[in-house]
Amino acid sequence: MLRLKDKVCIITGSASGMGEAEAFAFAKQGAKLIIADQNLELAETVANQIRSLGNEAFAFQVDVTNIIQLEALIDFTIGKFDRIDVLLNNAGIFDKYTNSLETTEYLWDKIFDINVKAIFRLSNLVLPHMIQQKSGAIINVGSIAGLVAKMGGASYTASKHAVLGYTKHLAAEYGQLGIKINAICPGTIKTPMTAKMLETRPTDKIPLDRFGDTSEVADLAVFLASDESKFMSGACIAVDGGFTAV
């Protein structure tokens, strides 16, 4: 049985890395997809590949910091499918471990704009539809940098802690309206964002002694999007090979 059959899912940042893996994993489970990314060329490639597998998928170019483009994304999705079942807020950027004294206000604001405020903007656009449907799932991509220090710089660490706080707020406010809101906290995962850093980094502080694969995060995202997790809300789940357990 397909676990996401006919669920309409928007995934931001799904033209590459974890978002791309999530898009393929969702498609494999029967989801109808909007591949929302600032990189239209890569988003089209992902959507075309998913369509060639027999699933419905559309690429949509959006900068998640631009409210006009986000409104257009929601209008496009409703125009195509007339509902939104899952919003996966995955788009994010890294601050390259910049410590507080070296963090400019420009960097801080940019990191927060993409990693946190975009989730607030999109959630507020999607929630009215989910409230009307009396169902829906929002999944926010946090990080282990939202659980502990030293897995990013000042602004990234603060932004990912904010994602988890906002996730809990949403869960508390909208659960009674039939909407579940959870967060994923990936550990170190091999993606274009981390490829260069991981060339020289040891794995001995990770109990499973390796970096994660994008498919391993995507598996959790499928579970949180599916009805299998229907009693879960406000959870912030680490997929980190045990890193935050020690």
**Could you confirm whether 166 is annotated as catalytic?**
no
Q: Does 19 bind ligand NAD (CB under 6 A)?
A: yes
Compute the half-sphere exposure of residue 139: CA atoms within 13 Å on the CB side of its CA. Answer: 29
Q: Does 95 bind ligand NAD (CB under 6 A)?
A: no
Select 77 or 90, whichever has its Cβ closest to ligand NAD. Answer: 90
| Residue 24 Cβ vs ligand NAD, minimum distance, rounded to whole Å | 13
Q: Does 25 bind ligand NAD (CB under 6 A)?
A: no
Select 175 or 192, whichever has its Cβ closest to ligand NAD. Answer: 192
Q: Does 55 bind ligand NAD (CB under 6 A)?
A: no
Q: How far apart are CA 228 and CA 145, in angstroms?
A: 27
Binding segment (CB under 6 A) for ligand NAD, from list 3-11, 50-58, 60-68, 164-172: 60-68
Q: Does 40 bind ligand NAD (CB under 6 A)?
A: no
Q: How far apart are CA 200 and CA 133, in angstroms?
A: 48
The structure tokens 């579940």 sit at 180
Closest by alpha carbon to 235, among 148, 138, 117, 125?
A: 138
Q: Which of residues 163-222 bind ligand NAD (CB under 6 A)?
A: 186, 188-189, 191-194
Q: Are 68 and 43 in contact (CB under 8 A)?
A: no
Q: Does 114 bind ligand NAD (CB under 6 A)?
A: yes
Give the C-alpha distances (Å, rounded to integers) separating 239 from 77, 150, 213: 30, 17, 10
Q: Does 69 bind ligand NAD (CB under 6 A)?
A: no
Closest by alpha carbon to 226, among 142, 141, 135?
A: 135
For residue 100, what are its two tokens?
A: 């507080």
Binding site for ligand NAD (CB under 6 A): 12-13, 15-19, 37-39, 62-65, 90-93, 114, 141, 143, 186, 188-189, 191-194
Catalytic residues, by residue number, are 156
